[in-house]
Chain A
Amino acid sequence: MSQSTAAAKAYIEIAFSDRPSQVVSISELPFFIGRGRESGNHLSLDDMRISRKCAAISSGASGFFIEDRGQRDGIFVNGKPTMGRTLADGDRIRLGGDDACQLVFRLHSEASLKEEGETKLRSLLDSWGGDSADELKGLKLLLEATSMLHSQLPLESVLGAMLDHAIVITHADRGMLLEHDASGVMQVKVARGRDGESLAPEAMNPSRSVLKSAIELESAVINEDLNLADMNLQGAQSVVMQLLRSSVVIPLYGKPRGPADPSSEVARRQLLGAVYLDSRRASTFSALDRQILDALGAQAASILDNSRLIERERERQRLEQELNIAREIQQALVPQGMQDFPHLTVTGTHHPCYEVGGDYFDVCPLADGRVAILIADVAGKGLGAALLTTMLQGALSGMTLGVDPVQVFNHLNRFLCERAAVRRYATMFFGLLSPDGTLEYVRAGHPSPLLLRRGQVSELYTGGSFPVGLIDMAKFNSDRIQLEPQDTLVLFTDGVTEAEDRDHKPFGDERLMEAAGRHQDSTLGDLKDGILAAVEKFTDGASQFDDITLLVVRYRGPATSAGLPAVLPAVNS
């Protein structure tokens, strides 16, 4: 059939006596030899003794064939002048009258390495007629199809190519690939005709009875003259309808994966699907060798199996990409490069335990000079929690426009309780720090921030408070405390105090207070790092199972409009 049939299996040795020898594989058929590339030569011999159009090698009925295309003084094979003849391995081709210009025709060395196998295959293939080289090419292309899977080609086209090869090998009219659908019924996934055209899977109507028998036998089944075959005619309606005479069904099995189940003596092969080939001609498949069908089945199964693996891998990669986008968005929403304000300095850190987290903090100035400070911990982890933090951030940003925080908390609580299917709630601490040191805050089930004041560490509040979104009747209110210059607040989520060591002992409130106290005279950055280091030392490599978030705020004292603390003496009084 195709011109490129045996192309890659032969090569030419350039054996000119007056130039270095060279080996050129016959990459394409017909293969043109001559001087210069511009005249379409595949082998260009830059030698004035060679005519522009010298010779051509093509595939003939009995193998490779060389013909003279106008070489001056003609061409000679093994010393005999010829206009055209079949080539054999080792034939010496003289171009023109000069003995120096000789080529040697060689069959591909790879082919000779596999000679034994190919001879066997050829004899199998010869038994069902056709050009053996064609069929070998079919098997070769099947192998190529496997490697195609690793390209970015759509899987459907790889599976389609696999069917094309199966059609070529078996001389079928149509080929289809069937797979189980969700309810376990075999459905046609891909279908092709003998000219490589795609056929509509829903129009295929393969014989269910033939399929069934192949799956029951767990082996390829050839049915010749279907209407005469030993089968229930009613069950074979589709066969009669389409006037199909013969068919081949090859069930496809995957390799058993994972540890073998010790309770089952025989590892059950997983049925992946089936290749179904049919023909309107009688006896199309009668000469098909079982070994060929088994080889075809093994190839198709491996392609299908690999394609499913790759499909899952691509899906996993896609999800990972989505998650990366979510993480990028979340990181972009967290305040970037914590800004200091005239009356306060601030720093924070967020270590989600998964790609994205349910903890969140924010610091933003209000128009009236106050600065809003927020830390929140959404119940649960990962993407579900992260989605809610984003929503909270949007809702809470309204507070910077001057909306009463208590109202916002009450509203958020109702909003989440009414949407119970969200299955998430949050603990939060929200504070508004005025330039004069007044801290107005709303708490929602969140652990009390630590207050570091003149060497003492205390909690801002004790007792409980309702989280946001858990209890529909919850009401929120605000409290107030006066901060002194250098007072420092350590806001944290329970991922800090509940960080566990290898024995599942939690870091706990006391260790946190102790670590904070030890670093309270340090810069905010050192205080934050000191606490994180204490947690890290305590957990000693035990895996983190919750997000860890810290926000540290230090009140500098009342600020002037110039942004300098008012306690500094004026230069010019």
Chain B
Amino acid sequence: MTISTESMDGGITRVLLDGRLDIQGAAAVDLRMNVLAGSSKFLLIDLSKVSFLGSMGLRSIIIPAQAVSRRGGKVALLSPVPMVEEVLKASKVDEIVPIFHDLDAAVAALR
């Protein structure tokens, strides 16, 4: 599991998660995600490279996302694979953090 970030126009931080977000994956990214949540106003979490999303992995995305929202920021999820999208929707997380499959739409939603 790896995590990398990229600054985009409009103060958006794009976070690229890569790998399996299982228990180990979640443990590997939790700290970075929390730091990002504390320092970013607009967070675009790119899930296109996440092949598996477990329950602890779901938590690794949602807890930071809620923290950003609480501070008045915005979060969007980008391009989850079907398995990952299914997990997100089963937990109704898509009602809290919108899911996009198009980068421009996601960026527009964050502005």
Write the residues of chain A forming the contact surface with B, with a CB cutoff of 8 angstroms: 377, 379-381, 420, 423, 425, 427, 445, 447, 463-467, 470-474, 494
Taking the closest CB of chain B, its distance from the CB of A443, in whole angstroms, is 10
Inter-chain contacts of A447 with B (CB < 8 A): 90
**Are the CB atoms of B58 and A470 closer together than 8 Å?**
yes
Binding site for A on B (CB under 8 A): 23, 54-56, 58-59, 62-63, 66, 89-94, 96
B8 CB to nearest A CB, Å = 26
A380 CA to B56 CA in the complex, in Å? 6
Residue contact A377 to B90, C-beta cutoff 8 Å = no
Q: Which residues of A contact B54 (CB under 8 A)?
A: 379
Q: Are B55 and A471 in contact (CB under 8 A)?
A: no
Q: A471-B66, A471-B96 known; A379 and B56 CB under 8 Å?
A: yes
**Given the complex of chains A and B, what is the CA–CA distance between A377 and B90 in angstroms?**
14
Nearest CB of B to A506, in Å: 8
Which chain A residues lie closer than 8 Å to B58 at the CB level?
A: 379, 470
Q: Which of A420, A464, A470, A472 contacts B94 (CB 8 A)?
A: A464
B11 vs chain A, min Cβ distance (A): 25
Complex-state Cα separation, A381 to B93, whole angstroms: 22
CB of A220, distance to nearest CB on chain B (Å):
46
Contacts of B90 in A (CB 8 A): 445, 447, 464-465
- The residues of B that contact A474 with a CB separation of less than 8 Å are 92
Q: Which of A423, A470, A473 contacts B91 (CB 8 A)?
A: A470
21 contacts across the A-B interface (CB closer than 8 A): A379-B54, A379-B56, A381-B23, A427-B55, A427-B91, A445-B90, A445-B91, A445-B92, A447-B90, A463-B89, A466-B91, A466-B92, A467-B91, A470-B58, A470-B62, A470-B63, A470-B93, A471-B66, A471-B96, A474-B92, A494-B55
Q: Which residue of B lies closest to A378 (CB)?
A: B55
Pick the residue among B59, B66, B92, B93 that contacts A379 (CB under 8 A): B59
Q: Is the CB of A423 within 8 A of B59?
A: yes
Supply 11 further A-B pairs (C-beta < 8 A) apart from A379-B54, A463-B89, A464-B91: A379-B56, A423-B59, A427-B91, A464-B92, A464-B93, A466-B92, A470-B59, A470-B62, A471-B62, A473-B96, A494-B55
Complex Cα–Cα for A467 and B23 (A): 17
Q: Give the chain B neighbours of A470 by CB distance below 8 A.
A: 58-59, 62-63, 91, 93
Structural contact, A425 and B59, CB atoms closer than 8 A: yes
Rounded to whole Å, the gap between the CB of A341 and the closest CB of chain B is: 30
Nearest to A473 among chain B residues (CB) is B96
* CA distance in complex: A470, B59 (Å): 7
Q: Which 10 A-B pairs have the closest CB atoms?
A: A379-B55, A464-B92, A445-B91, A464-B89, A464-B90, A466-B92, A379-B56, A467-B91, A380-B56, A465-B92
Assembled-state Cα–Cα distance A470/B93 (Å): 9
* Chain A hits for B96, CB < 8 A: 471, 473
Report chain B residues within 8 Å CB of A463. 89, 92
**B55 CB, min distance to chain A CBs, angstroms:** 4
Nearest-Cβ distance from residue A512 to partner chain B, whole angstroms? 15
B101 CB, nearest partner CB in chain A, Å = 18
Instruction: Report B96 CB to chain A, min CB distance, Å.
Output: 6
Q: How far is the CB of B90 from chain A (nearest CB, A)?
A: 5
Q: Are A472 and B66 in contact (CB under 8 A)?
A: yes
Tell me whether B63 and A420 are in contact (CB under 8 A): yes
B40: shortest Cβ distance to chain A, in Å? 19
Q: Please, how many angstroms separate the alpha-carbon atoms of A471 and B58 in the complex?
A: 11
Give the chain B neighbours of A445 by CB distance below 8 A. Answer: 90-92
Q: CA of A534 to CA of B23 in the docked complex: distance in angstroms?
A: 26
Q: Please give, as numbers and ranges, the residues of chain A lying within 8 Å of B92 by CB-CB distance.
A: 445, 463-466, 471, 474
Across-interface contacts of A467 in B (CB, < 8 A):
91
Distance of A301 from chain B, by nearest CB (Å): 37
Complex-state Cα separation, A470 to B62, whole angstroms? 8
A172 to B58, CA, bound (A): 65
CB-nearest residue of chain B to A474: B92
Look across to chain A and name the residue whose beta carbon is closest to the beta carbon of B69.
Answer: A473
| Cα distance, A529 to B93, chains bound together (Å) | 34
Contacts of B62 in A (CB 8 A): 470-471
Closest A residue by C-beta to B54: A379
Which B residues touch A472, using CB under 8 A?
Answer: 66
Contacts of B56 in A (CB 8 A): 379-380
Distance, CA A466 to CA B58, complexed state (A): 12
The answer to whether B55 touches A380, judged by C-beta atoms less than 8 angstroms apart, is yes
Cβ–Cβ < 8 Å partners of A377 in chain B: 55
Q: Measured between C-beta atoms, what is the minimum distance from B69 to chain A in Å? A: 9
- Cα–Cα, bound, A465→B95 (Å): 10
Measured between beta carbons, the chain A residues less than 8 angstroms from B23 are 380-381
Q: Which residues of A contact B91 (CB under 8 A)?
A: 427, 445, 464-467, 470
> What is the bound-complex CA distance between A472 and B66, given in angstroms?
9
- Collect the chain A residues with CB atoms within 8 Å of residue B59's CB: 379, 423, 425, 470
| C-alpha gap A474/B62 in the complex (Å) | 13
CA distance A494 to B56 in the complex (A): 13
Chain A proximity of B97: nearest CB distance (Å): 10
Interface centre among B55, B59, B94, B96 (most CB of A within 10 A): B55
**Smallest CB separation, A323 vs chain B (Å):** 18
Residues in A neighbouring B66, C-beta threshold 8 A: 471-472
Q: Could you say which residues of chain B place their CB within 8 Å of the CB of A465?
A: 90-92
A288 vs B77: C-alpha distance in the bound complex, in angstroms? 75
The smallest beta-carbon distance between A349 and chain B, in angstroms, is 21
Q: A427 vs B56: C-alpha distance in the bound complex, in angstroms? A: 12
Q: Which residues of B contact A379 (CB under 8 A)?
A: 54-56, 58-59
Nearest-Cβ distance from residue B31 to partner chain A, whole angstroms: 12
- A379 to B92 Cα, complex, angstroms: 16
Q: Closest approach, in angstroms, between the C-beta of B67 and any C-beta of chain A? A: 9
Alpha-carbon distance between A473 and B56 when the two chains are bound, in angstroms: 19
Question: How many angstroms from the CA of A377 to the CA of B87 in the assembled complex?
Answer: 14
Chain A residue nearest to B83 (CB atoms) is A506
Determine which residue in B66, B91, B93 has the highest number of CB atoms from chain A within 10 A of its CB, and name it: B91
CA distance A474 to B59 in the complex (A): 14
Minimal beta-carbon separation of A139 from chain B (angstroms): 51
- Which residues of B lie under 8 Å from residue A425 when comparing CB positions? 55, 59
**What's the minimum C-beta distance from B62 to chain A, rounded to whole angstroms?**
6
Q: How far is the CA of A489 from the CA of B40 in the complex (A)?
A: 46
- Closest residue of chain A to B62 (Cβ to Cβ) is A470
Q: CA separation between A471 and B93, bound complex, in Å?
A: 8
